[in-house]
Amino acid sequence: MTQRFVKGHIAFRNRAGTEQEYLQRLAIDGQQPMALYIGCSDSRVIPELLTGASAGELFVVRNVANYVPALANADCSVGAAIDYAVGVLGVQDVIVCGHTGCGGIRAALEGVEALAPQQSSLRQWVQNLVPTAENARARGFAGEALAQRTTEENVLDSLDNLTSYESVAARLGEGSLGLHAWVYSLENLRLRVFHADHGVWADAEAVL
C-alpha cells in the first residue's frame, strides 16, 4: 500500500523542476511562514490545497476537529506549536479552520459513550467538544443546523482559547497578530469566514 506514496514522492522529485531552487533555498535560509493554520486531521481538508499556499507559507497544526485547548488544560503538542509559530517564527496571522462533515463534531453530538472503550485517547479528546455541542443543542438547533452551529462554535471557542497562551496574548497586545475563524464546506468547496465586528459568518468572497 505504501508503495503508492513512495512512487508519488519520486514523481514529486521528478516534477520539482523550477521549484527545486525555491525548496532548497527554504532548506538553507529557514522557514518564514506567514500564518499558523490550525485545522482538522480529516484527509479531505488539505490546507495548502484549499488556500493555494506554497511550501513555507503555512505552519500547520492538525488534530481531530481542529480544537485548541485553553492553556490551563493544554495539549502539549498544540501549545508547543502555537508558541513556536507565534513566538519564534513570528507569524502574522493565526487561522482556525473547521469543516462540514467533521467526524469529531459528529462524535461530540452523539456522545463519547458511543465510541469504543479501547479508543480512550479519542474519547478523552472528543470530550472537550461536548460542552459546545450541548450548548448548541440547548439553543434549539437540530439536525444539520445543529452540526453546523457546533462546527462554527467550536472554531470560535478554539479562537478564544488561543488568547490564553502568553505568546498569543503578547502579540495581540502589540497589535501584530490577527486571529481568524474559518469553516470550509466539503460539499461545495466554499469557505466561510467569521466577521468579528458584526458577529456573522459570510462567504470568503465577501471579505475581499
**Which are the catalytic amino acids?**
40, 42, 44, 99, 102
Distance CA 93, CA 83 (A): 13
**Length of the chain in terms of residues written:** 208
Residue among 87, 106, 96 at smallest CA distance from 162: 96
- DSSP, collapsed to helix, strand or coil, labels residue 93 as strand
Please say whether the beta carbons of 156 and 67 come within 8 A.
no
The helix (run of H) or strand (run of E) holding residue 129 is none
The helix (run of H) or strand (run of E) holding residue 136 is helix 130-138
Residue among 179, 163, 175 at smallest CA distance from 96: 179
Please say whether the beta carbons of 64 and 126 come within 8 A.
yes
